[in-house]
């Protein structure tokens, strides 16, 4: 079986790419003979032919996912200068998908039409319908393209109830929808983590890619918040982990943060190894997440965290989450049981200080984190996908 997975954001090596990697691993395990191509192409200032463009080996080292029948397929698309050229590039990708048994669209907000024998849209958040002014004929064309997009997929796999709500609201895909939470760790690994009595340090931790726009992780705001309350957090360190791209706006964002944190117990771990990240998870006590803060979730739901893989990762190490009450976070954290949800700065401050000052309470909630994290295991992810894939004939 030949499988094509569209994901031009492969070089960001974020949570979505980890999710994609386990989906590829599931397919490798589920079919005796399979070849998987991850389709990447140049976008913005990303050059697929650059020497530092990540490889499958880089990916495996970052996430610990060994892919044996998966490789990168690079498509050198010309840089579009007009809407028509964007459309032509889109058609090139769609045409390429027609040569495969299965096409999995793993591209965020993509509206590429699947043209393989079977097509699956892995939905991290649904794209908007086309709303264009113009002549009746022009509007009819856009409506037809939307119809083709919606019809072309056999299944839409949402990564959360939150995402599924908006998928149904925007596209009315109904019976084609399935909710499959992303895989985060194996049940065996979770059991090992829960059985180890770690030596914790007074560390606040945040994990997420450093980027501007979309559903950015609000690292700059969290750093400002920490600095404003530095006297209340005396003796604590704040560590932020995440990948950063070579895009100019993202590099400027990082440079601004690096200037801001000078002289404070705030530490950045950029593009760090899996071993370094795991070490921080084992040492930290509290996990912060603020994606979507100061954003209107009803008007701009795409700016929320659509699930929250890093929140689950933190919980699997017993790190207590204190996370924003928006997007997919409330599906993960049961408030005051295995973490805390906050709506404003005052709540974030009060809840953080409560955990800092009451170690007994921290220990109770930390133990509950392990139990909750088990809902998001690789095994449960594989089981759910098997139910779906077993219903597809090739």
Cα 245 to Cα 262: distance, rounded to the nearest angstrom = 22
Cα 367 to Cα 364: distance, rounded to the nearest angstrom = 5
Tokens standing for residue 287: 């996990």
Q: What percent of the chain has pLDDT over 90?
A: 81
pLDDT at 375: 93
Number of domains in the chain: 2
What's the rounded mean pLDDT across residues 160-182? 96
- Count other Cβ atoms within 10 Å, centred on residue 52: 8
What's the pTM? 0.89
Where do we find the tokens 């992303």? 182
Cα 271 to Cα 267: distance, rounded to the nearest angstrom = 13
Burial class (CB in 10 A: 0-12, 13-18, 19+), 251: middle
Residues 131 and 146 in one domain: yes
pLDDT at 6: 98
CA 307, 311, 315, 320 dihedral sign is negative
pLDDT at 394: 73
pLDDT at 46: 87
**105 lies in a domain?**
yes
Residues 71 and 146 in one domain: yes
Residues 253 and 268 in one domain: yes
pLDDT at 273: 87
What's the rounded mean pLDDT across residues 64-81? 94
pLDDT one-digit tens code per residue, 285-316: 999 999 999 999 999 999 999 999 999 999 99
Burial class (CB in 10 A: 0-12, 13-18, 19+), 55: exposed
Cβ partners under 8 Å of residue 36, min gap 6? 3, 4, 5, 24, 27, 28, 67, 69, 70, 71
- Torsion angle, alpha carbons of 14, 16, 22, 26, to 10: -160
What's the rounded mean pLDDT across residues 38-49? 90
Q: What is the CATH number of the domain that holds 120?
A: 3.40.50
pLDDT one-digit tens code per residue, 257-285: 999 999 999 999 999 988 999 999 999 99
DSSP string computed for 96-139 = HHTTSSEEEE--TT--PPP-SSEEEEEESSPPPPP---S-HHHH
Residues 217 and 318 in one domain: yes
Average pLDDT, the chain: 94
Phi, then psi, of 112 in degrees rounded to 5 = -70, 140
**278 lies in a domain?**
yes
Cβ partners under 8 Å of residue 259, min gap 6? none
Residues 141 and 193 in one domain: no
pLDDT one-digit tens code per residue, 325-339: 999 999 999 999 999
pLDDT at 246: 80
Residues 219 and 270 in one domain: yes
Cβ distance 39 to 5 under 8 Å?
Answer: yes
Residues 225 and 258 in one domain: yes
pLDDT one-digit tens code per residue, 229-244: 999 999 999 999 998 8
365, pLDDT greater than 80: yes
- Count other Cβ atoms within 10 Å, centred on residue 284: 27
Q: What is the CATH number of the domain that holds 218?
A: 3.40.50.2000
pLDDT band, residue 132 (cuts 50/70/90): low
Residues 318 and 331 in one domain: yes
**394 lies in a domain?**
no
Residues 261 and 384 in one domain: no
Domain that residue 268 falls in: 187-375
Tokens standing for residue 154: 């056999």
């Amino acid at each position: 079986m030949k499988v094509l997975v569209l994901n031009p954001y492969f070089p960001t090596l974020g949570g979505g790419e980890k999710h994609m990697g386990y989906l590829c691993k599931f397919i490798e395990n589920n079919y005796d003979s399979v070849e998987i191509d991850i389709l990447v192409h140049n976008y913005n200032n990303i050059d697929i032919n650059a020497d530092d463009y990540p490889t499958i080996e880089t990916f495996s080292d970052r996430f610990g996912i060994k892919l044996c029948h998966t490789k990168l397929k690079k498509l050198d698309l010309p840089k579009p200068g007009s809407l028509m050229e964007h459309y032509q590039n889109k058609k090139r990708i769609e045409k390429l998908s027609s040569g495969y048994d299965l096409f999995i669209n793993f591209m965020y907000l993509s509206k590429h039409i699947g043209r393989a024998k079977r097509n699956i849209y892995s939905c991290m958040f649904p794209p908007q319908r086309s709303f264009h002014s113009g002549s009746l004929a022009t509007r009819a064309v856009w409506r037809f393209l939307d119809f083709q997009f919606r019809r072309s997929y056999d299944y839409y796999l949402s990564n959360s109830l939150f995402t599924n709500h908006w998928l149904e609201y925007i596209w009315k895909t109904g019976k084609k929808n399935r909710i499959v939470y992303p895989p985060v760790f194996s049940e065996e690994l979770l059991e090992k983590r829960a059985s180890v009595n770690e030596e914790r340090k007074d560390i606040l931790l945040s994990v997420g890619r450093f980027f501007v726009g979309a559903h950015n992780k609000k690292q700059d705001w969290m750093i400002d918040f920490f600095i404003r309350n530095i006297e209340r957090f005396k003796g604590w360190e704040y560590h932020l982990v995440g990948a950063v791209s070579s895009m100019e706006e993202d590099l400027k964002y990082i440079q601004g943060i690096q200037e801001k944190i000078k002289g404070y117990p705030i530490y950045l771990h950029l593009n760090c190894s899996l071993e370094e990240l795991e070490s921080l998870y084992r040492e930290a006590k509290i996990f912060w997440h603020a994606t979507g803060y100061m954003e209107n979730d009803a008007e701009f739901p795409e700016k929320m965290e659509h699930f929250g893989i890093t929140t689950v990762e933190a919980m699997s190490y017993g790190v207590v989450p204190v996370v924003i009450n928006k997007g997919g976070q409330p599906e993960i954290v049961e408030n005051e049981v295995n973490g805390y949800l906050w709506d404003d700065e005052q709540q974030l401050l009060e809840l953080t200080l409560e955990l800092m000052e009451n170690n007994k309470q921290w220990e109770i909630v930390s133990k509950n984190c392990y139990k909750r994290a088990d809902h998001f295991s690789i095994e449960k992810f594989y089981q759910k996908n098997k139910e779906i894939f077993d219903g597809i004939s090739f």
